């Protein structure tokens, strides 16, 4: 039985570990004896793009778009961030340029029996559509944004939060030395999880999230309340998707990707300018951007990548297709893929966010 594994969407630490553990578990000789099926594993390069562009009859094209995986090749992959298979935001079901027929042809041409898709809402959305067309698929959740429903953990999130925390720790010394305000912009798209968790674990004074439009004057008032006190500086964490009551999202440009997303970013510069103008506090900003997706995986991402990779193969063995592996209430489980791709996991403001202090709530139970 041929397993094809691919990674789609934004890269992050943890992807390589998941590929490694799908491969190792599928090819495990001890398990192979117990199973009635023998697997081989191919990696598809650059997500759905590779599977659309490959020509199964052409050896050069096969080399460019696929990689036969074995235990030796993936041996050290779990230590490294990014994805050694490459990634893309190609949408084969793009309404403007439907490539799904080619995709179906290539799946058959490559002799693929089952696809393990590692990705977020978009990548798994494609897998879910394929499943409806009769292709066997299994999903592994990945997104630094933490916005995927159906699981309590998606690969990449913990590593990204650690980057935010480490960078803020670094900023504190320079912010303190100069008595400045620092506005730190995180990723996260329409979900504020990265900003909230990153801000909470690094003790940010103000955290602004997309789920609760903020008022610039209130931010300034919060800063003014600290004026003259022993605290000489403040850290504000803002999610790239945060908005003000009167403004829309800040976008880098007018471009839209194949899944219909705009590229968010730039709100930190605006906030820094406003603060300086309104309060006179010297203010700087930092956009953490892709640093949050870089570096090696945290311990949690390595562990979850391993568990998810193993669980994905369990699901294949059990013929449990059309589902995503999931970590729920401390246990490994799985959920139907169609249920995780039609809406996002956003912050419940009433439960987790203090709308007066613009920070994590100080009542949790």
Q: Applying CB under 6 A, which residues contact ligand F6P?
A: 10, 143-145, 187-189, 240, 263-264, 293
Active site residue 46: no
Nearer to ligand F6P, 110 or 271 (CB): 271
Q: Which residue is nearest to ligand F6P (CB)?
A: 187
Minimum CB distance to ligand F6P, residue 32 (Å): 36
Apex 5 CA angle, 76 and 331, nearest 5: 80
Instruction: Return d(Cα 292, Cα 116) in angstroms, integer.
Output: 25
Pairing of strands 206-208, 323-328: unpaired
User: Annotated catalytic residue: which of 122, 145, 147, 158?
Assistant: 145
DSSP result, 23-87: HHHHH-HHHHHHSS---EEEEETTTHHHHHH--TT-HHHHHHHEEEE-HHHHTTGGG--S-TT--
Minimum CB distance to ligand F6P, residue 121 (Å): 9
Nearer to ligand F6P, 78 or 258 (CB): 258
CA 130 from chain center: how many Å? 22
Minimum CB distance to ligand F6P, residue 69 (Å): 25
Token look-up 């870089």 returns 294
Nearer to ligand F6P, 126 or 144 (CB): 144
Minimum CB distance to ligand F6P, residue 329 (Å): 25
Minimum CB distance to ligand F6P, residue 20 (Å): 22
Local structure of 323: helix, strand or coil? strand
Beta-bridge mates of residue 327: 332
Q: Which of 13, 22, 28 is nearest to 44 (CA)?
A: 22
Catalytic residues: 145
């Amino acid at each position: 039985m041929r397993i094809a594994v691919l990674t789609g969407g934004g890269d992050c630490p943890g992807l390589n570990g998941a590929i490694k553990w799908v491969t190792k578990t599928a090819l495990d000789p001890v398990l192979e004896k117990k199973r009635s099926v023998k697997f081989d594993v191919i990696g598809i390069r650059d997500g759905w793009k590779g599977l659309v562009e490959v020509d199964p009859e052409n050896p050069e094209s096969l080399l460019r778009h696929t990689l036969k995986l074995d235990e030796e090749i993936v041996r050290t992959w779990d230590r490294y961030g990014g994805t050694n298979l490459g990634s893309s935001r190609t949408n084969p079901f793009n309404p403007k340029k439907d490539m799904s027929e080619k995709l179906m042809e290539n799946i058959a041409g490559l002799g693929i029996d089952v696809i393990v898709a590692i990705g977020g809402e978009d990548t798994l959305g494609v897998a879910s559509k394929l499943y409806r067309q009769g292709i066997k698929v299994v999903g592994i959740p990945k997104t630094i944004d933490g916005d995927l429903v159906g699981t309590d953990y998606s690969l990449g999130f913990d590593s990204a939060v650690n980057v935010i925390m480490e960078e803020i720790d670094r900023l504190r010394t320079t912010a303190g030395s100069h008595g400045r305000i620092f506005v730190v912009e995180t990723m996260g798209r329409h979900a504020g999880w990265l900003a909230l968790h990153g801000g909470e674990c690094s003790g940010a004074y103000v955290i602004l999230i997309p789920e609760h439009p903020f008022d610039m004057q209130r931010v300034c008032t919060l800063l003014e309340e600290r004026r003259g006190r022993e605290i000489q500086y403040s850290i504000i964490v803002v999610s790239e998707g945060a908005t003000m009551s009167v403004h829309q999202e800040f976008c880098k440009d007018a471009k839209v990707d194949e899944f219909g997303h705009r590229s968010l970013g730039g709100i930190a510069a605006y906030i820094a300018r406003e603060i300086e103008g309104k309060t006179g506090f010297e203010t700087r900003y930092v956009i953490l951007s892709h640093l949050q997706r870089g570096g090696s995986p945290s311990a949690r991402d390595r562990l979850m990548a391993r568990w998810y990779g193993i669980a994905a193969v369990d699901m294949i063995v059990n013929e449990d297709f059309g589902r995503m592996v999931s970590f729920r209430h401390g246990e490994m489980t799985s959920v139907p893929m169609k249920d995780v791709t039609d809406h996002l996991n956003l912050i419940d403001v009433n439960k987790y966010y203090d709308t007066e202090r613009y920070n994590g709530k100080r009542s949790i139970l």
